[in-house]
Structure 1
């Protein structure tokens, strides 16, 4: 620290009985040294961490996250009069939409607005800037042309329509009014018998619901593409809003599922066990972890936890064993307390083996339960 206005040691007065108000300037060196390092490594206040976690959860909740989704709409969609219904539905949902050119044309894409500042406690992948899902709107004629290509042109040279191999997007198709279009295209007897009918028209006439259903199966199996068949723009708008809400819930669900151990949570929910900072509740979490094994009752978990109150103590016991067989059978003879008049039971070799492998194996693909 350096005091401003002190030309030499002791400073000077500007008048008798009057002192210059002390003002202070921070030099660059004040943030260096042990004091600065100590401040930089200072432990954060637990209350501050809780407030930040609560704010993160608030931002991730669907009602808040839907406001961070933007529906990007191709201008070609606005050429249809029913597009007003879609935009009114998005307004009612509280989701922003923008009209921007998209590839392919007549498609919808979703973009997620990254919060500023982005919470450090949330993995960056939860705030993906752009979603990979694309909804492509097709006219009935265009969709039926693709149906002909899928159902009549078989073999390895047949490519799936509307899909470019280099595109990483997850494609969804939507066709409005296909059923009404097929009914209107049903030919009369005289038209079907005319020999001079063009090949394209004959192929278009030959397409009916059996061919459409076959094409839907092929699209699902070959390209993992689902097709939405709706009668009106109202139905399409309902689907787009439902899909938007699902995308808004995705980060919240991923944040809840990203916990490595669902049985050890910050609060009591979904059969979770509350664990405090002083370690209270860890034994209950260990008991619930034992219960997650197949065919393990509460009494059996009580027996294991009573003998080894923590997984660390059980691991130390495994290290002390001389042979692999001794480790696998370490818990087999532990008595299990049952009700009065019930024959004494033991943990058994199967569960003993599974718990041993669970705590000692280095193979992530090892099958613990041979009975599954």
Structure 2
């Protein structure tokens, strides 16, 4: 073990080297292994020079030897600090190595980019990483071809057309539903307008102005307005006539009849007594006396009106014809009294009136001639004549005709029962039978009364003996021969009336035979009078 010297002047003195004080010797030797001695000597000289230069700043004790090791001596405290720092740096290096392995080169490159380009590049990098492609081409969006662009446009157009078609279909369906709803509403309103309580509100009575200028024109107008229908004053094709029009259900109630109305065929014409008597006289001259061409008759005049107005059902109304007949009767009685008295003065006056054309100018017809002319008119033209006493009666006649014209469509629909024969109301209604069987006896009575010439008394006599068809069939089965069955009901007594005035008679073989055929015949074509 060598001595320690405090003198710094003798730097060339060789000092011993302790191996245990140099833990890094092996590493130093290994690091300098393979180097020439000249390099090691140069390093030692450089260290010595540096040590001498720093003697003023810090006292560092260097131990050297002549061995091959040229590593400088480091104190223990410094070596412990270096060893602790190496451990910390080693752990940091390991951590940095692992992070480097986890990070891709593209991420490291993006981290070094400027801040303003970080957002766009991070988006492209994220797309590339999510798709699994870390190449630069994976970061760019794939460009679509012209075919793909055209296909996408066609697909968008097809979808838009499909949406528009669906919308148009919904609108068409909605319009169709609204149209059907309007049609159903119109049909319901039309059916409601035909009801008796509603039809009069849809009628328009057209009155000729010439008719209102007569004596009872005001009465006629008041009666029509009180009825609840509309009234229109307009010139008619037939003079002094009244016609009717039916307003459509959709028309306004205050319509004057000029629009939205359907004319009816019925026309009632008021004929003055003078015109009517003149036409009757023409008929008498033509038919009774054979004088053709003397003037128009009632029949020829009506036929001319029918030719002018085809499709119209014309009817005539004559007011106060009885006044004419009373006047004619008074004139006849006066002439008879004058002739019976033989007054010359009265005869001279009569001859004077005849000469001047006074009473002879007035046409005279009898009741019989009027009736004959009216019958001839109905047979050849189908036109009827209504004789009325006052204008009030004429107004009532127009009111009644208005109601009849208004209710005619409803009655026609009601009478479409499908039967070729007429049924009375009491028979068409049928007989009601309850759950307890009440009413069956009346049904059996009606079945018997369906036979010709069977009165209620005859039906009651048969019901008294056989209250049900089953009992009658049992009675037929008890008979041994058909002769007994046919005459089974012949001796039944029919009672008529009560008390001392009552009479009796028998059913007879005719009705008994018809009942037998009805109850026992199997041939639907067999007549009841065949036996």
Q: What range is the shorter-chain TM-score in?
A: 0.5 to 0.7
What SS is found at the alignment partner of 1:101? coil
User: Which residue does 2:319 correspond to in 1?
Assistant: 176
User: Which residue does 1:74 correspond to in 2?
Assistant: 208
User: Which residue does 1:16 correspond to in 2?
Assistant: none
Q: Is this contact kept in 1: 2:210–2:240, CA < 8 A?
A: yes
Q: Please, which of 366, 369, 372 is the counterpart of residue 208 of structure 1?
A: 366
How do residues 47-86 of structure 1 correspond to structure 2 at under 5 angstroms? 57-86=191-220
Q: Is this contact kept in 2: 1:106–1:138, CA < 8 A?
A: yes
Q: How far 1:212 sits from its partner (Å)?
A: 2.1
Which is bigger in relative contact order (C-alpha 8 A, separation at least 6)?
A: 1
Q: Please, which of 521, 524, 530 is the counterpart of residue 348 of structure 1?
A: 521
Q: How far 1:181 sits from its partner (Å)?
A: 3.3
CA distance in 2, matches of 1:163, 1:203: 27
Q: Is this contact kept in 2: 1:151–1:214, CA < 8 A?
A: no
How do residues 132-171 of structure 1 correspond to structure 2 at under 5 angstroms? 132-154=265-287, 159-164=299-304, 165-166=306-307, 167=309, 168-171=311-314
Q: How far 1:183 sits from its partner (Å)?
A: 2.7
What SS is found at the alignment partner of 2:301? coil
CA distance in 1, matches of 2:278, 2:393: 23
CA distance in 2, matches of 1:40, 1:370: 62
How do residues 249-260 of structure 1 correspond to structure 2 at under 5 angstroms? 249-260=407-418
Which runs of 5 or more residues in structure 2 are unaligned?
1-155, 158-162, 252-259, 336-346, 421-426, 432-446, 453-468, 478-515
User: Which residue does 1:129 correspond to in 2?
Assistant: 262
Are the structure 2 counterparts of residues 53 and 342 from structure 1 closer, same or farther at C-alpha, using a change threshold of 3 Å? Answer: farther
Superposition TM-score, scaled by structure 2 size: 0.40
Number of equivalent positions = 258
Which runs of 5 or more residues in structure 1 are unaligned?
1-7, 10-22, 118-126, 263-268, 274-290, 297-335, 355-367
Cα displacement string for residues 139-182 of structure 1 (whole angstroms, at most 9, x for unaligned residues): 11111111111222127976522442423321111112222234
What SS is found at the alignment partner of 1:225? coil
CA distance in 1, matches of 2:369, 2:286: 12
User: Which residue does 2:242 correspond to in 1?
Assistant: 108
CA distance in 1, matches of 2:271, 2:225: 23
User: Which residue does 1:285 correspond to in 2?
Assistant: none
Is 1:235 the equivalent of 2:369? no
Cα displacement string for residues 293-314 of structure 1 (whole angstroms, at most 9, x for unaligned residues): x759xxxxxxxxxxxxxxxxxx
CA distance in 2, matches of 1:152, 1:137: 24
Are the structure 2 counterparts of residues 105 and 177 from structure 1 closer, same or farther at C-alpha, using a change threshold of 3 Å? Answer: same
Cα displacement string for residues 54-79 of structure 1 (whole angstroms, at most 9, x for unaligned residues): 75553221221011111111111111
Q: Is this contact kept in 2: 1:135–1:174, CA < 8 A?
A: yes
Superposition TM-score, scaled by structure 1 size: 0.56
Q: Is this contact kept in 1: 2:354–2:360, CA < 8 A?
A: no
CA distance in 1, matches of 2:529, 2:412: 31
User: Which residue does 1:90 correspond to in 2?
Assistant: 224
Q: How far 1:253 sits from its partner (Å)?
A: 0.8
What SS is found at the alignment partner of 1:66? helix
CA distance in 1, matches of 2:319, 2:213: 14
Q: How far 1:105 sits from its partner (Å)?
A: 0.7
What SS is found at the alignment partner of 1:63? helix
Q: How far 1:114 sits from its partner (Å)?
A: 2.5
CA distance in 2, matches of 1:207, 1:136: 22
CA distance in 2, matches of 1:131, 1:212: 30
Question: What is the aligned-residue RMSD (CA, Å)?
Answer: 4.6
Greater percentage in helix? 2
